[in-house]
Amino acid sequence: MKISAPTTMPLLEVLALLSPGSSKTSLRSWVKEGRVGVGGIVVSRVDIEVPQGEVVELGTKVRVLPHGLKIIYQDAYLIVVDKPAGLLTVKTAFEKEETVHAILKQKLEKRVTVLHRLDRETSGALVFAFDERTALNFKALFEKHAIEREYIAIVEGKVEVPSGTWDCYLAEDAQYHVYPTYNEEEGKRAITHFEVTGGRKGYTRLKLRLETGRKNQIRVHCQQAGHSVAGDAKYGATTNPIKRVALHARFLGFTHPVTGKKITCVSSVPIEFDQLVREK
């Protein structure tokens, strides 16, 4: 659920417009639970003013699983979880630690199919299917670029251009390192749309929308632009201010491959992202 503030007003008044039947106690509890975002940033205080036109979002009440894994949405066909940084999506030939995939299989006691992945140090919304038909239909959505995916990144340096698009081909070498190329026979095309949404000396906050979903796409595109994601030493970062890669999968939107229902899932941006670029 989301709403744009019709005029500059207190957050509680905006929430009351969003959910007219809810009590002020409920509205305050949503903020306390970390379910309310203003302009894509989770807020922890109710006594703030929301500027006219700013978007206020209410996230779904989540269930918490081991390792801080949270369930954002679940039905008979699929599940969307909020993955914390530091947790693998699925085991690999070289990494067999605890994974999101393993946790879901164990706790839900059913088959779970991986539909896409987030890097270990990337947090945010991640979707899995419960049956083969849903998995195949969902993967078809990926192939048609019919899934909305929005990320938030804190990158090094000041990005001078307010918005734009990064477009190149990405290839992978024998050491599993992804690199950009303009040779379409060498790699797969990768398109990322970016918008500057804030920053202070040394860092810029970017909102990024994926048109394609290649491995390490955002990380490589940011490095190629001369603004590596903070904390991402693999792709050129020289700083690590929040002790992790500063990349978060904030939004996932799609038409349900079975029910046809429009699904929108929002993962609250970690508060340390906002703290890093907040003007002091």
| Structure confidence by residue, pLDDT tens digits, 224-267 | 999 999 999 999 999 999 999 999 999 999 999 998 988 888 88
The reported pTM is 0.78
Q: Where are the domains of the chain?
A: 2-58, 63-277
pLDDT at 41: 65
pLDDT at 62: 59
Residue 21 has pLDDT above 70, yes or no: yes
d(CA 95, CA 267): 26
Report, as an integer, the average pLDDT of 148-177: 94
Which residues, other chains included, contact 96 with Cβ-Cβ below 8 Å and sequence gap of 6+?
A: none
d(CA 77, CA 135): 9
Report, as an integer, the average pLDDT of 139-146: 89
Residue 222 has pLDDT above 80, yes or no: yes
pLDDT at 129: 95
Q: Classify domain 63-277 at the CATH topology level.
A: Pseudouridine synthase (3.30.2350)
Q: Report the chain's terminal Cα–Cα distance, integer Å.
A: 31
pLDDT at 268: 86
Tens of pLDDT, residue by residue over 165-198, are 999 999 999 888 999 998 888 999 999 999 999 9
Which residues, other chains included, contact 247 with Cβ-Cβ below 8 Å and sequence gap of 6+?
A: 119, 121, 122, 123, 151, 152, 153, 218, 219, 229, 232
pLDDT at 36: 83
Q: Which residues are catalytic?
A: 119
Hey, what are 24's tokens? 């002020």
More confident residue, 44 or 56: 56
Tokens 């007003």 belong to which residue? 9
Residue 280 has pLDDT above 60, yes or no: no
pLDDT at 96: 64
pLDDT at 279: 60
Residue 43 has pLDDT above 80, yes or no: no
d(CA 168, CA 191): 7
pLDDT at 189: 93
CATH of domain 2-58: 3.10.290.10
Report H helices in the chain: 11-18, 24-32, 100-108, 132-143, 217-224, 271-277
Distance of CA 36 to the CA centre of its chain: 16
Residue 278 has pLDDT above 80, yes or no: no
d(CA 194, CA 48): 28
